[in-house]
Amino acid sequence: MTSAASRLTAARTAKRDEFYTQYIDIQKEVEAYLEFDPNTFRNKVVYCNCDDPFESNFFKYFATNFNRLGLRKLITTSCGGSSIAGAQLSFSEYLEGGGKPQEPNAVALEIEEVNDLNGDGARDIEDVRFFLQQNPHKRTRLLQGGDFRSEECVNLLKLSDIVVTNPPFSLFSEYIALLTEHEKKFLIIGNTNAITYQDVFPHIMANRLWLGCTNFNVGMFFEVPDNWEKFHHINEQTGKKMARVSTSCWYTNIDHGRRHRPLSLMTMADNLRYSSGLRGKSAYDKYDNYDAIEVSTYKEIPSDYDGVMGVPVTFLDKYNPDQFEIVGTLESSDPNNPYRTRWYSAQDQKDAYFRRFGKPGNIPLNMSGVINDVKVYKRILIRHRRTAKSSEELNN
Ligand SMILES: C[S@@+](CC[C@H](N)C(=O)[O-])C[C@H]1O[C@@H](n2cnc3c(N)ncnc32)[C@H](O)[C@@H]1O
């Protein structure tokens, strides 16, 4: 990538780190866990570690619902220099020892008790200010800047049970690594592309991480700072600019009902007879380089096929770990993938290009499934659980 292109990508990524989650999206997601287990948050310490209390709806949601969820404690930490807090708040007024104007600073806020409110909760900045006046809380300046990786924040992480936030997209892999290292429960927003990251996918495969309850395919709208030029619409209620990120979803390791709902499927013969995507075929395609069949939509997963199947990542939205086992991904350069049947040489890739386009060139074939010289993208490998030896069995 050229340096100009990489600067552009970095700028875009930094901008996306300033996407703020809507209250309604947090409410919808969190409450779906309560349907499965009403005590999911009871007596738990919830930590929002990328959240300025004045700008974050995570703080507002958990503060407002503190008693209903039965929280033991709510901790939020903010990273210094947030654009919204900087623009709309005088932190010197908010922090103890204030008086002279100061730059916005990183703050830890801890709440262990919430008095009954007048019903409004803490929805906007004035509500948060009022909320903090009415409720006992501890607020501390974070001398290390509020980075979730700083010792100060990691010490708070160690005290917590469940981490809930929308962390910066650009630090997602590091973020997941920290939470799993400390064996924390979490409910966080990330980019759907992270599913196939080399340091994220193994957690999905081992059922240490899965998708949340909100449907993966819908994308999400986020509040963006006032100076954001490319926005989708203005929220009539909040007056905030909104931008859509079609590739965002919830990641969690907290159990929920949707992942235990079995997919209802047809047999292979019926799929070949009735599924529009398979019309005219007498058999499912097989990859040239993997011992697996191609299933281009979860609806066409045959109920009676015992082998390995390549399915789009959107399958994870329907993934029931009692019904299926995830055994790999086609987007991996792992030469030890047991289902790989072929590794293309440089010459193979040139030949494939020539066969397809009739001129010299190169198709990099090793990072995907391949059918008749055509790459098939973003597939994960699954098989029915009834035929699969569990990972534990394989390891013994
Ligand atoms: C995508 S925004 C989401 C903000 C908030 N969690 C929400 O959902 O509305 C990511 C937030 O993380 C903050 N941030 C960026 N880098 C950080 C870091 N290293 N540690 C902690 N927070 C960070 C940004 O200032 C920004 O407020």
Per-residue pLDDT at 246 exceeds 90? no
Residue 59: its pLDDT value, please? 92
Gap from CA of 220 to ligand 1 centroid (Å): 17
219, 241, 259 - which closes a domain:
259
The best mutation among 18, 54, 79 to test binding of ligand 1, ranked by most ligand atoms within 8 Å of the C-beta, falls on 79
Per-residue pLDDT at 208 exceeds 90? yes
Share of the chain above pLDDT 70, in %: 84
By DSSP bridging, strand 20-21 and strand 107-111 are unpaired
The answer to whether 145 and 104 are in contact (CB under 8 A) is no
User: pLDDT tens digits, residue range 58-70?
Assistant: 999 999 899 999 9
For 281-291, what is the mean pLDDT? 96
User: pLDDT tens digits, residue range 158-185?
Assistant: 999 999 999 998 899 999 999 999 999 9
Residue 117: its pLDDT value, please? 56
For 108-118, what is the mean pLDDT? 80
What band does 125 get if pLDDT is binned at 50, 70 and 90? low
Residue identifier of the C-alpha nearest atom 9 of ligand 1: 20
What band does 75 get if pLDDT is binned at 50, 70 and 90? very high
When computed from its CA atoms, the radius of gyration of the chain, rounded to whole angstroms, is 24
The rounded mean pLDDT for the chain is: 85
Percentages (nearest 5) of helix, strand, coil residues in the chain: 35, 20, 45
370 and 248 assigned to the same domain = no
Gap from CA of 169 to ligand 1 centroid (Å): 9
Per-residue pLDDT at 199 exceeds 50? yes
For 1-5, what is the mean pLDDT? 47
What band does 121 get if pLDDT is binned at 50, 70 and 90? low
- Cβ–ligand 1 distance for 65 under 6 Å, the answer no
Q: Which region among 89-103, 187-201, 287-301 has the lowest average model confidence (pLDDT)?
A: 89-103
150 and 53 assigned to the same domain = yes
Residue 312: its pLDDT value, please? 95
Residue 16 CA, closest ligand 1 atom number: 1
- Cβ–ligand 1 distance for 85 under 6 Å, the answer no
What band does 101 get if pLDDT is binned at 50, 70 and 90? very low
Per-residue pLDDT at 275 exceeds 80? yes
164 and 205 assigned to the same domain = yes
Backbone phi and psi for residue 93, each to the nearest 5 degrees, phi listed first = -70, -35
Q: Which region among 135-149, 172-186, 242-256, 278-292 has the lowest average model confidence (pLDDT)?
A: 135-149
What band does 204 get if pLDDT is binned at 50, 70 and 90? very high
Query: Which CA distances in Å does 238 have to 28, 89, 189, 226, 246?
Result: 18, 17, 22, 12, 22
Beta-carbon count within 10 A of 107 CB: 22
212 and 122 assigned to the same domain = yes
Per-residue pLDDT at 55 exceeds 50? yes
269 occurs within a structural domain: yes
Per-residue pLDDT at 83 exceeds 90? no
Gap from CA of 168 to ligand 1 centroid (Å): 5
Which DSSP string corresponds to 301-342?
--TT--S-EEEEGGGGGG--TTTEEEEEESS---TT-TTB--
Residue 254: its pLDDT value, please? 98
248 and 389 assigned to the same domain = no
259, 282, 310 - which closes a domain:
259
Helix (H) or strand (E) holding 353: helix 346-357
Answer yes or no: pTM beyond 0.85.
yes
208 and 266 assigned to the same domain = no
More confidently predicted of 94 and 73: 73
230 occurs within a structural domain: yes
46 and 161 assigned to the same domain = yes
Beta-carbon count within 10 A of 100 CB: 6
For 238-264, what is the mean pLDDT? 92
Could you list the residue range(s) of the whole structural domain that residue 158 is in?
Answer: 11-259
**Number of domains within the chain:** 2
141 and 239 assigned to the same domain = yes
For 252-258, what is the mean pLDDT? 96
What band does 132 get if pLDDT is binned at 50, 70 and 90? confident
6 occurs within a structural domain: no
CA 256 to chain centre: 15
The answer to whether 216 and 314 are in contact (CB under 8 A) is yes
What band does 118 get if pLDDT is binned at 50, 70 and 90? low
Contacts of 45 (CB under 8 A, 6+ apart): 71, 72, 73, 74, 75, 159, 160, 161, 162
Residue identifier of the C-alpha nearest atom 25 of ligand 1: 82
Residue 165 CA, closest ligand 1 atom number: 6
Of 71, 250, 28, 64, residue with least CA distance to 160:
71
332 and 248 assigned to the same domain = no
292 and 352 assigned to the same domain = yes
